[in-house]
A and B are shown apart, each in its own frame.
Chain A
Amino acid sequence: MTLQQTVRPAVIARSASRRDNGRLIQEISMLAPAVILLTIFLVVPFLLSFWTAMTNQPLVPRPTPIRFVGFNNFLRIFRDELFWTSLWNVSRFTFWILPVQCGLAFATALLLHQKLPFRNLFRGLFFLPAITSMVVVCVIWGTLFQYPSGPFNQIIGFLSGGRIQPIDWLGDPNWAMFSIVLLSAWQAYGFQMIVYLAGLQGIPDELYDAARIDGANAFQRFWHVTMPGLRPTHVFVLVITTIQAFKLYTQVAILTQGGPKSSTETVVHYMVRSGFEEQKLGYASAVSVILFLIVLVIALLQRQLLRRFDV
């Protein structure tokens, strides 16, 4: 008995420390793949982009050495009218996509949150566009937008009795960006809808019951219970949509190549063009740094807003 008591702590301590070492090694090796991959494919290229942005690095290696050019790339970008056009265009895109896409997501989420028959079927159907690849979306909407006798133009012609002339959806500088907004909203609203549904589920039923007891009608319950409860969700959705909007690329690259008359040129399209068509990788990296800074500012703004609402 006494022997056991004196021996036991030492044994336990020794085996515990061995187990701790083994445990530590296991934990490190479970964490290592992710850390190594993130370092090589995210951290290193990210840091490299700041360096490349200050050089005249070409796409194809040349005999002449790569020179450090300081902030020259940034100065040239700021002097390029096309860059400002692309920034203006994504801002226009954001201005339109926020109400259209978030509105659609909010409306469908509110409807699906009700106890309706076949609710899950509808939820599945409403999410279908979100799993559709943007390339496929472009095939579908490319036909819908056909000029002069595509489906949209035929419908508009029919409804207006032929009074409204066919619209060149993707070929008219005044319409091209708006057309891109329509197909982008259709494709992407599903994710925001899911986020809104989650937000709606997070509002406790007791709040609605209490409001009902106090005599609040449906609209009052919506305005005084649902809306305040969804504040963080609104912020999150708006920010995610804005960040997405600033990264606009695929649909523009496929359907309009930035045209007509640069009316759908975007920051990412501008970056890819200067990097791979004009082969100025240093210059393109400088654009990517600017893009990152824009996204960072938006994300920080979100944190500030969320913090304010959490109080």
Chain B
Amino acid sequence: MSDLAIPTVQAKVKSERSSIGSLHMVQTASILVIALVIVSPLFMLLIASLKDDRFQILADMGSFRAFWVSSPTLSNFAEIGNLSGELAFGRYLVNSLIILASTVGAGLIVNSMAGFVLAWGSLRGRALILSLVIALYVIPQESIIMPLVIMVSRAGMTDTFAVQIVPWIASPLYIFLFYQFFAQLPKELFEAAEIDGASVFRIYRSIFLPLSLPALATVSILMGIESWNQYLWPILVTQTDYARPIAVAIATFFGQDSIYWDRAMAASVLMMIPILALYLAFQRWFVSSFVGSAVKG
């Protein structure tokens, strides 16, 4: 921008300042109102989980008492937090955590390795594999689930942890996200390491992976949410408490004649905690521009 242009812009800005001030007020007000509307159901959930009487919970709902608890109690959590037997939500939570940690852990390694080779490898079929991976992205989970159920039941994998982990480790979307991230890093990084005699795996492990914290964080959050929220697949492949995840267990509240809202609320809060922790831990790196770069893909 030339020096001449700056004063003009500043003059414009000055004349607009008063209108900007009122615009700011409107914006702040509307953001507060929307935030209130968006967040209040979650706040209500937290409050209700601390109330003991399930009929009182419903009675309070329509008024401001939904946002206030006079004598908070953790009795709902004590009731459902068992590790075995009925209402073993402690166990379901642990099951879900095992599935989440294994899926995300293995997924980060498998998908980032593939993404790295596709971006920097010297393999001849690289471009072809990349376009195949992108093409696979179109296939929705829902449309392969029927044959997949036959396959895993033939293999005797039903009602295990493995059946809820292994099929969802590799994913076209995350391979592509890693590919995209690695490909935009400077060429000199790779070449310098290569001249120093580092192997491909070594370059990936010691140079590119430490640089890809934003990508790792983004994929962790996305994969974590996906794994944590799986519902259709686990109801089809789990029959007993052994590997049942918490999402399926919470859904069983709805099958009863009279819903125990107090317990359902407590179980829901229990289910929110780990994924919230994961989100808060990685949010700093969950850069929106990174997700946005996938838009044109």
Measured CB to CB, the residues of A under 8 A from B are 20, 22-24, 26-28, 30-31, 33-35, 37-38, 41-46, 48-49, 52, 57, 107-108, 111-112, 114, 116-117, 122, 124-136, 138-144, 146, 149-151, 153-155, 186, 194-195, 197-199, 201-202, 206, 209, 212-213, 215, 218, 232-233, 236, 243, 247, 249-250, 253-255, 268, 271-272, 275-276, 281, 284-285, 288-289, 291-292, 295-296, 299, 306
Q: Tell me how far the C-beta of A5 lies from the nearest C-beta in chain B, rounded to whole angstroms.
A: 21
Asked whether B44 lies within 8 Å of A140 as measured between CB atoms, the reply is yes
Establish whether residues B295 and A249, one from each chain, have CB atoms under 8 Å apart when the complex forms: no
Complex contact B254–A144 (CB within 8 A): no
Interface of B, helix, strand, loop or mixed by DSSP? helix
Pick from A57, A124, A154, A233: contact of B62, CB below 8 A. Answer: A154
Q: How large is the interface on B (under 10, 10 to 19, 20 to 34, 35 or more residues)?
A: 35 or more
The smallest beta-carbon distance between B249 and chain A, in angstroms, is 9
* A285 close to B61 (CB less than 8 A): no
Q: What is the CA–CA distance of A58 and B53 in the complex, to the nearest angstrom?
A: 46
Q: Which of B117, B279, B290 contacts A31 (CB 8 A)?
A: B117
Bound Cα distance A206, B9 (Å) = 12
Query: Besides A26-B200, A37-B110, A46-B139, 4 other CB < 8 A contacts?
Result: A44-B147, A140-B45, A198-B290, A198-B291
Q: Is the CB of A271 within 8 A of B254?
A: no
B31 within 8 A of A: yes
A233 to B291, CA, bound (A): 11
The answer to whether B232 touches A249 (Cβ under 8 A) is: yes
Tell me whether B292 and A202 are in contact (CB under 8 A): yes
Interfacial chain A residues near B259, Cβ < 8 Å: 142
Are B39 and A128 in contact, CB atoms less than 8 angstroms apart? Answer: yes
Q: Which of A24, A57, A116 contacts B31 (CB 8 A)?
A: A116
Whether the Cβ atoms of B41 and A285 lie closer than 8 Å is no
Task: List the 3 closest A-B pairs by CB distance, nearest first.
Answer: A198-B292, A154-B62, A34-B114
Taking a contact as CB atoms under 8 Å apart, the answer to whether B31 and A139 are in contact is no
Chain B residues with Cβ under 8 A from A130's Cβ? Answer: 225
Judge whether A197 and B288 touch: CB under 8 Å: yes
Which residues of chain B have C-beta atoms less than 8 A from A111's C-beta?
27, 30-31, 34
Closest B-chain residue to A110, C-beta based? B27
Given the known interface contacts A27-B117, A28-B123, A37-B170, the answer about A250 and B292 at a Cβ–Cβ threshold of 8 Å is: no
Contact B122 A138 (CB under 8 A): no
Contact B136 A42 (CB under 8 A): yes
Interface string of B278-297 (1 = CB under 8 A from A): 01100100001111110110
Q: How far is the CB of A203 from chain B (nearest CB, A)?
A: 11
Determine whether the beta carbon of A49 is less than 8 Å from that of B62.
no
Contact across chains for A41 and B146 when beta carbons are under 8 A apart: no
Identify which of A35, A48, A255, A288 contacts B142 (C-beta below 8 A): A288
Bound-state CA distance A35–B8 (Å) is 58
Q: What are 16 A-B contacts defined by CB distance under 8 Å?
A: A23-B122, A26-B201, A31-B129, A34-B113, A38-B133, A41-B166, A46-B144, A116-B24, A132-B42, A144-B41, A149-B62, A151-B61, A195-B288, A198-B291, A281-B146, A289-B143
Residues of A within 8 A of B28 (CB): 116-117
Chain B residues near A253 (CB, 8 Å)?
Answer: 231-232, 251
Task: Give every chain B residue within 8 A of A139 (Cβ-Cβ).
Answer: 45, 250, 253, 261, 264-265, 267-268
Known: A140-B41, A243-B140. A133 touches B271 (CB 8 A): yes
Q: Which residue of B lies closest to A236 (CB)?
A: B295
A49-B147, A124-B283, A306-B296 known; A133+B110 contact, CB < 8 A: no
Complex Cα gap A253–B142 (Å): 14
Whether A125 lies near B38 (C-beta < 8 A) is yes
Q: Is the CB of A281 within 8 A of B150?
A: yes
The smallest beta-carbon distance between B178 and chain A, in angstroms, is 10
Given contacts A31-B123, A34-B113, contact A143 B58 (CB under 8 A): yes
